[in-house]
Amino acid sequence: MSSLVIVGTQWGDEGKGKIVDLLASSADAVVRFQGGHNAGHTLVINSKTFKLSLLPSGIVRQKLSIIGNGVVVDPIHLEKEIGEITNQGIEVNTSNFVISSDCFLILPIHRYIDSLRENQKKGSKKIGTTGRGIGPAYEDKVSRRGIRFSDFKNLKELEEKFISIYNHHNVWIEKFEGKEISYLDDFEIILKCYQSLSKYIESTWLLLKQLNDKNKKILFEGAQGFYLDLDHGTYPYVTSSNTVPSNASTGSGANPKYLKKILGITKAYTTRVGNGPFPTEENNDIGEKLGKIGNEFGTVTGRKRRCGWLDILMLKKAITVSGINGLVLTKLDVLDSFKDIKICTSYKINNQIVKDYPSNISSYHHVIPIYETLKGWEEKTKGITKFEKLPLNAQNFVKRIETLVNCNIDIISTGPERDENIILNEAFN
């Protein structure tokens, strides 16, 4: 069997959705293994835009799409998203969509407390959460009071768990709001959603074993990006799950032996949504230009993304920790009009040159990026599908990245459409 893991190497928004869609054409199944509907994947197919947050990107190609146990699921949102994608002409049925019975649920109270907490923080203290209840849901999971789809087999015990969760969170809510939230209405709403979704729920670890035994190709789709990882990211400005590819096994039930290749997705520049360190950020006309050309607005939140130059230190750490053995370079065409293009190759911290990404960059107040400047190509690359057709300076830019990070670039995306790519090496082999 040949299986493949896709992981973002920055702070998310690297273009994973498009690449997953591209590679899904050769896959038999696509698996989500972490995060929730805070993820945002935008697919543009024949000028038609599909925006997904919970559904695996493979669903657009009608491939078997699996939500693994590591994903926290908001049943209300999932039901709505299925309805939306169905209205766009994409069929979702029991033959192409499966949810793990071990998935933990995001309840309405999780969303409420998420927003309430964030509103208590000010300025730079804000994490930049999407307010969708992801963090509180993972907290309940870790604290062993969470609710899984499998719990719906015993409604009496399920209701008792609802009461316990709501009692726990109401202590905090009452302190700040002077009121409590009743579980009753939410219990009925979630129960109704479960009845609608139950036909998709099964033991996905067993399904993955069956696929492996049949030598099927499985594509594991990471959400967010490496630097939003709870352990390896720019803590505390991170998400509440592990985004690294090693979690593909834990978050799906797939045997680690199934994971054969890991592709890292990186933009030709860098973006970030929300607060947190960003050494190469260009808070100026350059950043504005990158954002405007690249249409840098969050798929989920609509928030404007911060923009800056490509950071090699970030990329090298992501490659090393993730075990990445191939890269995908996206949004090359966004740089088409730049006379000069910069690549950050080191930092200056406390008057010392640093060539490896610091373990806790959030603790450094002054990080000065040191750049290598390359000549831009000032020619159109959008839609080019052959490497030799790229302007020479664009070719040099790609080759320089490969040299600096010691990793091959297998795919180059030259536009948002499904067919706007340069394939240098086949992902599945």
Q: What is the pLDDT of residues 368-416, one digit of tens each?
A: 999 999 999 999 999 999 999 999 999 999 999 999 999 999 999 999 8
Taking the C-alpha atoms of residue 380 and residue 240, their distance in angstroms, rounded to an integer, is 40
pLDDT (0 to 100) of residue 81 = 94
pLDDT (0 to 100) of residue 160 = 96
Please give the structure tokens belonging to residue 27: 């896959």
Whether 129 has a pLDDT exceeding 70, the answer reads no
Domains of the chain: 3-101+200-261 (3.40.440.10), 104-196 (1.10.300.10), 266-423 (3.90.170.10)
Instruction: Give the DSSP H or E segment for 245.
Output: none
Whether 122 has a pLDDT exceeding 60, the answer reads no
Phi, psi of 423 (to 5 degrees): -95, 110
Which residue, among 321, 279, 310, has the nearest Cα to 401 in the 3D structure?
310
Whether 127 has a pLDDT exceeding 80, the answer reads no
List, as one string, the DSSP characters of 326-384.
EEEEE-GGGGTT-SEEEEEEEEEETTEEE-S--TTGGG-S-EEEEEEEEE---S--TT-
pTM of the model: 0.90
Catalytic residue numbers? 13, 41
Whether 125 has a pLDDT exceeding 60, the answer reads no
pLDDT (0 to 100) of residue 4 = 94
End-to-end Cα separation, the chain, in angstroms:
10
Lowest-confidence segment of 18-32, 217-231, 302-316, 355-369 by average pLDDT: 355-369
Whether 353 has a pLDDT exceeding 70, the answer reads yes
Please give the mean pLDDT across all residues of the chain. Answer: 91
Q: Which residue has the higher pLDDT, 121 or 175?
A: 175
Please give the structure tokens belonging to residue 123: 């300025």
Taking the C-alpha atoms of residue 137 and residue 140, their distance in angstroms, rounded to an integer, is 5
Lowest-confidence segment of 116-130, 244-258, 373-387 by average pLDDT: 116-130
Taking the C-alpha atoms of residue 243 and residue 9, their distance in angstroms, rounded to an integer, is 10
Is there a contact between 205 and 252 (Cβ–Cβ < 8 Å)? yes
Lowest-confidence segment of 151-160, 169-178, 374-383 by average pLDDT: 169-178
Is there a contact between 273 and 298 (Cβ–Cβ < 8 Å)? yes
DSSP state of 261: E
Which residue reads 């302190």 in tokens? 175
pLDDT (0 to 100) of residue 319 = 98
